[in-house]
């Protein structure tokens, strides 16, 4: 087994709906450790670095605009295979297609074309996790 770290974001829609505590509860219930936690409204420049691989795609600017529209809860979690585990816990990107029992399946809403309003983000690989953690929690 490999102990990993991952970045988890409770996006502005989840924060506005008061779901941060429920998301953190599920992370801890899964057995992962919270290593760092902060609430902030991210700056556009930070989001451009975070979502750099999507620059030029049609959803890039609307995603940056949404993610900078209000408070985001940023967390670094740690645990055995937590990257894969949190992504399973989060569920499919589209809340309507997400399985019951997942964060998005239980708590997500159908926003139509605005799939970025899906409550949470989780790193998708160890490389992405390292890069994202460095953006949100430099020096951690």
What are the structural domain ranges in the chain?
3-90+117-136
Stated as kind and residue range, the H or E segment containing 37 is strand 33-40
Asked if pLDDT for residue 112 goes beyond 70, the answer is no
pLDDT band at 2 (very low <50, low <70, confident <90, very high): confident
Q: Is 87 annotated as a binding residue?
A: yes
Q: Does domain 3-90+117-136 have CATH number 3.30.70.141?
A: yes
Residue 117 is labelled as binding a ligand = no
Distance, CA of 56 to CA of 12 (rounded, Å): 23
Q: Tens of pLDDT along 8-35?
A: 999 999 999 999 999 999 999 999 999 9
- pLDDT tens for residues 79-103? 999 999 999 999 998 888 899 999 9
Cβ neighbours of residue 80 under 8 Å, at least 6 residues apart? 1, 2, 3, 4, 31
> 118: annotated binding-site residue?
yes
* Confidence class for position 113, pLDDT limits 50, 70, 90: low
96 annotated among ligand-binding-site residues = no
pTM over 0.95: no
Output DSSP code: residue 11: -
Comparing CA positions, the residue from 5, 125, 4, 126 lying closest to residue 74 is 5
Segment 109-134 mean pLDDT: 86
pLDDT at 121 over 80: yes
For residue 20, say whether it is annotated as part of any ligand binding site. no
- Count of CB atoms within 10 A of residue 37's CB? 14
- In the annotation, is 121 catalytic? yes
* pLDDT at site 96: 87
């Amino acid at each position: 087994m490999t102990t990993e770290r991952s970045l988890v974001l409770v996006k502005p829609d989840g924060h506005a709906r008061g779901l941060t505590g429920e998301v953190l509860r599920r992370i801890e219930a899964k057995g992962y450790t919270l290593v760092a936690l902060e609430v902030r409204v991210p700056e556009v420049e930070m989001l451009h670095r975070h979502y750099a691989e999507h620059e030029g795609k049609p959803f890039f600017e609307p995603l940056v605009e949404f993610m900078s529209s209000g408070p985001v809860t940023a967390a670094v979690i740690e645990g055995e295979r937590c990257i894969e585990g949190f992504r399973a816990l989060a569920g499919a990107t589209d809340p309507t297609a997400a399985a019951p029992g997942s964060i998005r399946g239980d708590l997500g809403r159908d926003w139509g074309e605005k799939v970025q309003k899906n409550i949470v983000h989780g790193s998708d690989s160890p490389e992405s996790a390292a890069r994202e953690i460095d953006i949100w929690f430099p020096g951690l």
